[in-house]
Structure 1
Amino acid sequence: MSRFKSSSPLRTPLTAGAGAAALCVAVAGALAFLNTQSPPPVGARASLPALAVDGAEAVEVAQAPAPVFAETPAEDIALPGVTETEAALNPPVSEAATPSRAPQAPLAGLYEPGPGGPLPVIAPDGRRPDAAYARAFDGDPSAPTVAIVVGGLGLNRALTQEAIEVLPAEITLAFVPYARDLQTWVDRARADGHEVLIELPMEPFDYPNNDPGPHTLLAEASEIENTHRLDWLLSRAAGYTGVINYLGARLGASERAMSHVLAALEARGLSVYHDGSGRRPVLEAAQAASEARLSLVDRLLDANPEAAAIDERLLELEALSLQNGTALGLGSPYPTTVESLADWANSLPARGYQLAPASFVSRVRHAQASEPES
């Protein structure tokens, strides 16, 4: 169900091809709740020399003055399974003292004013946000490659911090647009080397009983209305390479609405990731009509949150990367998922696979789709 007070506090389990990143809860009591439930559906300053990641050549990056982001009032958000007392124990995140491994966002030329802060745009020289904010990755283009996105981050301080600090930097992190101190979380994740996505709430079939949150993108809304909603969501933070859906089966079944949303995202130079909620032929048709850089998720990692089941999904991703060259997985920031991913990632290079940020898989797939048929 919804993350919000207007709906019942629990949400339906993940099903195959459904859901974006999950919400998690803040304290020990809430963690116990999560361990007994199926996971919910997963669907910014003076110019400084910026050091590229992974030993790439350092470059001088022009940076813009820090923007002002509008804050979502804390009372607008309720976490499933967390009481008011427990929520009060989850304080705002403080600025990280970790030296940054990425230039702070937004970069000059890559934004315009938006309703909540800067909106990403393609620079006059053609630079795209999805390339400018991507993690540098000097991988082997011939090696079987797996990318992982962990979503639902920003609403739970402890689990978000653990995901940032424990998961390998190659794993991409997706943040909820309603999170308090969202820009601080994005900055912290990027300082630790992670690439960042923003979740977009999209209409499910049982909306509004199942409400993804304010400014949800709707199947029957006009293009003007969905554009206003999208601008609000995208202006919540800066420094992300793209977006991923949260819920959205009904929107994903409307070619007209999805084509408009994808075209708007492509016009802003953002990559799009989608868990497949809706109808795959509709998503593919909308992608073709919009020419968006859309990548579909191959496996949801923790529909079953047990470690053995997560390991099985990871093995399936390895097999898919051997077959197709790349594979893309999506998970939630549950302790079992984070632990399983950390262990799996440590053993991956020795078995002939490479772990890459999601942007690498997006670039490879876009290049393959752009090749003329022989």
Structure 2
Amino acid sequence: MIAIPRLSAPRLNLAGLKGLLASRYLRPGAAAVLFVVALAVVAQLVGPGGKPRPVRIGLAPVFAHAPQGWREALSAAHGVSVTEDIVRLSERPLAPMAAGAWNAGQQAAPVVIGGPLAAAPIAGFFAPGPGGPLPIIAQNGRTPFEAYARPFAGNGRPKIALVIGGLGLNARATQAAIETLPGQITLSFVPYAEGLQGWIDMARAHGHEVLLETPMEPVDYPDNDPGPYTLMADAQAPDTTNKLEWILSRATGYFGLTNYLGSRFLADDHAYATFIGSVRGRGLGFIDDGSASRRIGGGIPRASAERVIDDQLSQQAIDQQLLALEAGALQRGQALGAGFAYPVTLEKVARWAGSVEQRGYQLAPASALAQKR
């Protein structure tokens, strides 16, 4: 990881920009738009009378062997030179970005987004359980995942999704996340929260799709104890199912589950199979924070976060992680991050989300990145 402390003048990699203009990754017309964007960046960095404005910029690790053109794209979008000495971003296998995936010059296709989501529960997608309503697959085969996920239509640009979790326990943080973050940001709630259904209803009314957090046994249990309904790695299948049903019955309106901790539980084949079987039977999806990235989905919609954006709780570190998500989206066509409802996280994500689409990306709900695998 490197940091460029101050720039005394705008640093645009003109040679790299020239290469990007000729790159096969930009469709016709995009080159002209990118050139205008670059000029606009220069205008922003140069103050009145041609004097440079000092700027502080932090750069996250990015791919050292990514497809041609992605560094120049980031350089032009952020107005800095992304150099060759920046280390790689991810351990995951890299696949070339599809031609035209980054398409800043094309008008976005109309998409059906915005506005409140349908109030929960939706008829046909729940049945009474021992502790409350439980999600079920409708008679026509439609699943709660499909019913409660936020509608989304891609526009050809790289997709970036974020899950902000830990919600429901702190009223101020929960309300701030619901009201200040755009509806495309997915929110996840703690099952132990009081008034959980009210919080989920409020989130959906603001356009947010919702995940329910599932406490799972970590390797340092019981020193790190996720609570009385923690799914244990060595538990018998009926015990895991009973605990999971209690968690699921706490509220309605969620399209899937996400893990809270779980390093030991998710590493156990038997425990994971029991969990996934129950999730599949309920028609839900599973989106993890990266802890289960190597696990197959078992026939349910699955996605794994590439990074937790606020592992280091500072404004600069979060900025670096968000920039890294942009780099990952350019490289693979999509990227998923996770974070918690810390005040600094909410502030930085809200500001970043307000401008990310102007840089040629599409902000997407996490459900749009989930695939059966």
TM-score by length of 1: 0.68
Q: Tell me the residue number matched to 1:188.
A: 202
Please say if residues 257 and 284 of structure 2, whose CA atoms lie closer than 8 Å, have aligned partners that are also in contact.
yes
Measured after TM superposition, the shift of residue 143 of structure 1 is 1.1
User: Are 2:322 and 1:314 equivalent residues in the alignment?
Assistant: yes
Please say if residues 186 and 208 of structure 2, whose CA atoms lie closer than 8 Å, have aligned partners that are also in contact.
yes
CA distance in 1, matches of 2:335, 2:207: 21
Number of residue pairs aligned between Structure 1 and Structure 2: 264
User: Are 2:214 and 1:206 equivalent residues in the alignment?
Assistant: no
Q: Which runs of 5+ in 1 are unaligned?
A: 1-53, 59-99, 370-374
CA distance in 2, matches of 1:185, 1:57: 21
Structure 2 residue aligned with 1:112, among 107, 116, 127?
Answer: 127
Residue deviations 1:100-122 (CA, integer Å, cap 9, x gap): 81221111111111232111011
Structure 2 counterpart of 1:355, one-letter code: L
Residue deviations 1:77-103 (CA, integer Å, cap 9, x gap): xxxxxxxxxxxxxxxxxxxxxxx8122
CA distance in 2, matches of 1:126, 1:188: 28
What are the residue-to-residue correspondences of 1:1-374 with 2, within 5 Å? 56=112, 101-140=116-155, 142-277=156-291, 280-281=293-294, 283-284=295-296, 287=297, 290-362=298-370, 365-366=371-372
Please say if residues 263 and 292 of structure 1, whose CA atoms lie closer than 8 Å, have aligned partners that are also in contact.
no
Residue deviations 1:132-171 (CA, integer Å, cap 9, x gap): 011122331x210000000000000001000000011100
Distance 1:361 1:112, change over 3 A: same
CA distance in 2, matches of 1:295, 1:361: 6
Structure 2 counterpart of 1:125, one-letter code: N
Distance 1:229 1:57, change over 3 A: closer
Measured after TM superposition, the shift of residue 193 of structure 1 is 0.5
Measured after TM superposition, the shift of residue 259 of structure 1 is 1.3
Residue deviations 1:176-200 (CA, integer Å, cap 9, x gap): 0000000000000000110100000
Please say if residues 290 and 307 of structure 2, whose CA atoms lie closer than 8 Å, have aligned partners that are also in contact.
no
Give the match's secondary structure for 1:342: helix
Residue deviations 1:216-259 (CA, integer Å, cap 9, x gap): 11110011110000000011000001110000000011011101
Residue deviations 1:53-81 (CA, integer Å, cap 9, x gap): x98499xxxxxxxxxxxxxxxxxxxxxxx
Indicate the structure (1 or 2) with the bigger Cα radius of gyration.
2
Please say if residues 263 and 291 of structure 1, whose CA atoms lie closer than 8 Å, have aligned partners that are also in contact.
no
Structure 2 counterpart of 1:246, one-letter code: Y
Please say if residues 148 and 171 of structure 1, whose CA atoms lie closer than 8 Å, have aligned partners that are also in contact.
yes
CA distance in 2, matches of 1:354, 1:180: 34
Give the match's secondary structure for 1:252: coil
Distance 1:55 1:191, change over 3 A: farther
Please say if residues 348 and 355 of structure 1, whose CA atoms lie closer than 8 Å, have aligned partners that are also in contact.
yes
Please say if residues 164 and 338 of structure 2, whose CA atoms lie closer than 8 Å, have aligned partners that are also in contact.
yes
Structure 1 runs (4+) greater than 3 angstroms displaced: 54-58
Give the match's secondary structure for 2:354: helix
CA distance in 2, matches of 1:57, 1:228: 36
Q: Which runs of 5+ in 2 are unaligned?
A: 1-109
More RCO (CA 8 Å, sep 6+): 1
